[in-house]
Chains A and B, each alone.
Chain A
Amino acid sequence: SYELTQPPSVSVSPGQTARITCSGDALPKKYAYWYQQKSGQAPVLVIYEDSKRPSGIPERFSGSSSGTMATLTISGAQVEDEGDYYCHSSGNWVFGGGTKLTVL
């Protein structure tokens, strides 16, 4: 079955750049989507179609994709960005395992 692989955790200090990766064989042909989930809350879409940002999502969130890897970048991460981040690719009904982002 198809899989998306994410690192279990990423840790940065406030103001640093956080990068979360997602690897999968279908990514060269499929868009990547990223979701942020804060503790006790529902997920929120933060990046769609590899690099587009929904309205209301801060500009410090950006996305890119190259080959079999998609990357979510948070430039100047803030404490409120802490949470779990999940990727998925269009047309494949799976999520990555999730990455816990710690900002401290």
Chain B
Amino acid sequence: EVHLVESGGGLVQPGGSLRLSCAASGFTFSSYWMNWVRQAPGKGLEWVAYIKDDGSEKYYADSVKGRFIISRDNAKNSLYLQMNSLRVEDMAVYYCARTSALDYWGQGTLVTVSS
């Protein structure tokens, strides 16, 4: 059974940094593109970043480009999102999701940006 578990969320001050992790199990992680998608409180879904199966291609939404870095460790079946220079508008639940079809999602981790 496919399982995605995010961690690393929490409270951070504006301008701070946070690193999110997504632990994957139940499938061959190294064969799949992976994504980060976020949802601000009471708002819709927003694609944040995706990374190719071997890590050779990455895409970022304009809203996070230059501040966030997506990466993966296929040996550890793990996906990461390094978030720097955090802004109040980055506050959201962050989900990891599998493939361009987003066929499986984790339960999400909440990032709160506040002073």
Contacts and interface: CB of A to CB of B under 8 A. Distances in A.
The answer to whether A and B interact is: yes
Contacts, number: 45
A61 interface: no
A43 B45 contact: yes
A44 interface: yes
A33 B105 contact: no
A44 B44 contact: no
A33 B101 contact: yes
Interface residues of A, number: 21
Interface string B81-115: 00000000000000101001111111110000000
Contacts of A86: 44-45
A95 B21 CA distance: 23
Nearest to B101: A48
A43 B95 contact: yes
B105 A43 contact: yes
A3 to B, nearest CB: 12
**A33, A42, A91, A97 — most chain B CB neighbours (10 Å):** A42
A24 to B, nearest CB: 14
Nearest to A1: B62
Nearest to B107: A42
A12 interface: no
Interface in A49-104: 49, 54, 84, 86, 88, 90-91, 93-98
Contacts of B104: 45
A94 B61 CA distance: 9
B102 A45 contact: yes
Contacts of A48: 101, 103
B104 to A, nearest CB: 8
A84 to B, nearest CB: 8
Contact of A98 (B45, B100, B105): B45
Contacts of A35: 45, 102
